[in-house]
Amino acid sequence: MRLTGVELRQIAVPLVAPFRTSFGTQHAREIVLVRAVTDDGEGWGECGAMAAPLYSSEYTKAVADVLRDYLIPALAEVAQLDPWRVAPALEPVKGHRMAKAALETAVLDAWLRAHGISFATWLGATRERVAAGVSVGIMDSIPRLLDAVGGYLAEGYVRIKLKIEPGWDIEPVRAVRERFGDEVLLQVDANTAYRVADAHHLARLDPFGLLLIEQPLDEEDIRGHAKLAEIVRTPICLDESIVSARSAADAIALGACSVVNIKPSRVGGYLEARRVHDVCVAHGVPVWCGGMLETGLGRAANVALAALPGFTLPGDTSASDRYYATDITEPFVLADGHLDVPREPGLGREPIPERLESVTVTKEWITVRS
């Protein structure tokens, strides 16, 4: 397979409601999409980076720049292209894992389509559908939070994740537990908002029987997470800290976490995501699939990943209408708290042209070979 050209497209999809975390509020999801065109067909990749470098150092404008100026030219040098040759070709460029992941996914989608293989089959998925959790942002008041959680439970979501930050943690969790009971699968996500000095405060969450506390400390503070794990009984889960299979192995060995959130975009793509999964399974550490408010393209790939055997906890694989009134692909629909795993060749989803055009901000064609 030979790469002939790449389209970079920036889209902005309105959210059904503002989504607030400890690092900011989103009203629309700005996304870079990559369409890789080869002599065997084309494929799509979705970049997880946000408009500003708040969740990670990557952001949409920088993604487009590094793809255009460095990553696509590097991949153009690969004469016999397949998914396994992408990462080695891009390795000389330091970092930029989200940009690399989008390009690798586009190549992978094209290759799988050309070979008539579904993403789920290629990954080694063992389930036909996956349990869906939902992420609930920081609210203006506890009554609003309870209304939101009640609505998601009524829709059938099997796990609730609450975003937290200093000043919005103990009381919201207490209120949800008191209203909906101990049987609800409940976890919290701090997005690095706390410090080691907050350990005893976070330990006040222990009585609520949470599945986990996700990324309480700075992403580089692995030792701090290990110290926190000695004080807090609730399992510590790492998200931003896990950028590769190696970093997952190190964090586990150091006692910094007992659960891992795998976000393929954050670790550089789905090949590396599967390696992270395998490392965690080998160490008896449960994993779950995180989300970056993906459209149907990224959601299709994540649902397939979440069907691997080590994903024993419900992930942030919500239905399309959790975030978007109209998705750019055929939507994912919740049924009995689960989403079906696509089984068509490639990702199993592709953009609907008129929907894609309606949210497109910019597009650029880069010719690799004529």
Task: Name the band, by pLDDT with cuts 50, 70 and 90, for residue 13.
Answer: very high
Instruction: Say which amino acid occupies 254.
Output: L
Q: What whole-number distance in Å separates Cα of residue 162 and Cα of residue 306? A: 20
* pLDDT one-digit tens code per residue, 247-260: 999 999 999 999 99
Opening angle at CA 173, ends 314 and 130, nearest 5: 10
- Segment 174-195 shows an average pLDDT of 97
| Segment among 116-125, 191-200, 328-337, 361-370 with least mean pLDDT | 361-370
Q: What whole-number distance in Å separates Cα of residue 247 and Cα of residue 58? A: 19
Does 179 score more than 80 pLDDT? yes
Instruction: Say which amino acid occupies 136.
Output: V
Does 15 score more than 60 pLDDT? yes
Backbone phi, then psi, for 66, in 5-degree steps?
A: -70, -35
| Segment among 88-92, 213-217, 365-369 with least mean pLDDT | 365-369
pTM of the model: 0.94
- Segment 184-201 shows an average pLDDT of 97
* pLDDT one-digit tens code per residue, 112-155: 999 999 999 999 999 999 999 999 999 999 999 999 999 999 99
Does 349 score more than 80 pLDDT? yes
70 vs 58, 89, 92, 93, 208, CA distance in Å? 15, 11, 10, 7, 48
Task: Name the band, by pLDDT with cuts 50, 70 and 90, for residue 25.
Answer: confident
> Which residue would you say has higher pLDDT here, 18 or 304?
304
Q: 133 near 316, Cβ under 8 Å?
A: yes
Task: Name the band, by pLDDT with cuts 50, 70 and 90, for residue 26.
Answer: confident
3-state SS record for the chain: CCEEEEEEEEEEEEEEEEEEECCEEEEEEEEEEEEEEECCEEEEEECCCECCCCCCCCEHHHHHHHHHHHHHHHHHCCCCCCHHHHHHHHCCCCCCHHHHHHHHHHHHHHHHHHHCCEHHHHHCCCCCEEEEEEEECCCCCHHHHHHHHHHHHHHCCCEEEEECECCECHHHHHHHHHHHCCCCEEEEECCCCCCHHHHHHHHHHHHHCCCCEECCCCCCCHHHHHHHHHHCCCCEEECCCCCCHHHHHHHHHCCCCCEEEECHHHHCCHHHHHHHHHHHHHCCCCEEECCCCCCHHHHHHHHHHCCCCCECCCECCCCHHHCCCCCCCCCCCCECCEEECCCCEECCCCCCHHHHHHHEEEEEEEECCC
- Segment 53-66 shows an average pLDDT of 94
pLDDT more than 70, % of the chain: 99
pLDDT of residue 134: 96
Does 370 score more than 70 pLDDT? no
* pLDDT one-digit tens code per residue, 151-168: 999 999 999 999 999 999
pLDDT of residue 177: 97
Number of Cβ atoms within 10 Å of the Cβ of 65 = 14
Who contacts 124 (Cβ-Cβ below 8 Å, separation ≥6)?
274, 308
Best CATH choice for the domain 120-340 from the list 3.40.1010.10, 3.20.20.120, 3.30.70.20, 3.30.750.24? 3.20.20.120
- Segment 271-286 shows an average pLDDT of 97
pLDDT of residue 272: 97
Does 38 score more than 60 pLDDT? yes
Task: Name the band, by pLDDT with cuts 50, 70 and 90, for residue 20.
Answer: confident
How are beta strands 338-340 and 129-131 bridged, if at all?
A: antiparallel
Residue ranges per structural domain of the chain: 3-116+352-367, 120-340
Residues identified as active-site: 163, 263
Q: Which homologous superfamily is 3-116+352-367 in?
A: Enolase-like, N-terminal domain (3.30.390.10)
pLDDT of residue 23: 77
336 vs 28, 132, 155, 333, 339, CA distance in Å? 28, 9, 9, 10, 8
Rounded to the nearest integer, the mean pLDDT of the chain is: 96
Burial (CB count within 10 angstroms: exposed 0-12, middle 13-18, buried 19+), residue 183: exposed
pLDDT more than 90, % of the chain: 94
pLDDT of residue 24: 79
Does 274 score more than 80 pLDDT? yes
pLDDT of residue 135: 95
